[in-house]
Amino acid sequence: MTKTMPKAELHCHIEGATPPALAAAQAKRYGIDTSAFIKDGQYSWQDFTSFVQSYDATANLFRREEDYALLAETYLTEIAAAGAIYSELIASPDQGDAVGIGADAYMRGLAEGAERARAKTGIETRLLVVGIRHFGPERVVKAAEYAARRPHPLITGFNLAGEERMHRVADFTRAFDIARDAGLGITIHAGELSGAFSVRDALDHVRPSRISHGVRAIEDADLVKRLADEGTVLEVCPGSNVALGVFKDFQSHPLRALHDAGVRVTLNSDDPPFFHTSLAREYEVASTVMGFSDAEILGMTRTAIEAAFVDEPTRQKLLARL
Ligand SMILES: Nc1ncnc2[nH]cnc12
Ligand SMILES: [Zn+2]
């Protein structure tokens, strides 16, 4: 029974967590037509490329610092009500620039929302600055330089997301070196749309403590062993993987195989309403469809908090709540 279990999430894109009802309210506020990407109250897309287009169109519905506070407060309050005690949100300074308020106001808004949710529910939140792979290495370096300035105390990590099939991981080593040298936690999207090679490249060139997805590593037994030996934590999103067709269904998903091979795995929602899921549903599916015991699932939550990009006192406080 996972409903009342404590939960933690390391991999959720904040704009990708926008409830369609909130998207509709924002669209009304700004007089934006959403019929191209919201149909019958659901986000509409067919493949990863059109998912990114819907994602970007939704992201553009948030235009003021207060909008971002509302978005973060709404999502964090929702998952706290489902038992989440910790959340890391993937946030893009490029998006703050795209809507014209700049990265600082964008991050301040998200942090304000996180603070409101914490005051109401106790949920602890951190923000991960993300570089967008299909914007190219130079723009990702700029995102890393922004994060390296440590512009907000809640910003504790750096990630790379976007179109995994563009460029090579090696093209982004400078961005990750800048982020790592600034003391930020390092994670990277790999092994989702591209195969095992992209996970190996991530380990070789970026040396992350975590990988967003990483699940295609299952195609290479030696790589699975390497992940287990090195203790790299995978931020696995089964609902996202099935929705995007990375695996055809939950029964074919390698979460059980990775877990039983000793790889440290966690449960995450990625872009929950886009993939018709939620953090609570990921926990429920892990239990009722993938057959994980309550103890195994609690272990995944523990792993998430052990791998969280937080200070030690906060980590200990969170571990004490498990
Ligand atoms: N699943 C995903 N993969 C890569 N980039 C993303 N941005 C938002 N969701 C993503
Ligand atoms: Zn993701």
Per-residue pLDDT tens digits for 169-208: 999 999 999 999 999 999 999 999 999 999 999 999 999 9
Tokens, residue 45: 């897309």
**pLDDT, tens only, 119-148:** 999 999 999 999 999 999 999 999 999 999
| Mean pLDDT over each residue of the chain, to the nearest integer | 98
Secondary structure of residue 203 in the 3-state scheme: helix
The pTM (predicted TM-score) of the whole model is 0.98
Average pLDDT on 244-266 reads: 98
Tell me which residue of 107, 27, 99 sits closest to 63, measured CA to CA: 99
Tell me which residue of 252, 212, 255, 248 sits closest to 232, measured CA to CA: 212
Percent above pLDDT 70 for the chain: 100
pLDDT band of residue 1 (cuts 50, 70, 90) is confident
Tell me which residue of 315, 316, 258 sits closest to 292, measured CA to CA: 258
**pLDDT, tens only, 305-319:** 999 999 999 999 999
Tokens, residue 270: 């990625």
Tokens, residue 55: 């994602």
pLDDT score of 227 more than 90: yes
Distance CA 106, CA 154 (A): 13
Distance CA 293, CA 276 (A): 24
Q: Is the ipTM of this complex over 0.85?
A: yes
**Ligand 1 first shell, C-beta below 6 A:** 13, 16, 55, 161-162, 189, 192, 240, 270-271
Distance CA 89, CA 74 (A): 13
pLDDT band of residue 168 (cuts 50, 70, 90) is very high
pLDDT score of 266 more than 90: yes
Which of 242, 270, 274, 276 has most ligand 1 atoms within 8 Å of its beta carbon, as the pocket-test mutant? 270
**pLDDT, tens only, 96-115:** 999 999 999 999 999 999 99
Active site residue 282: no
189 is in an annotated binding site: yes
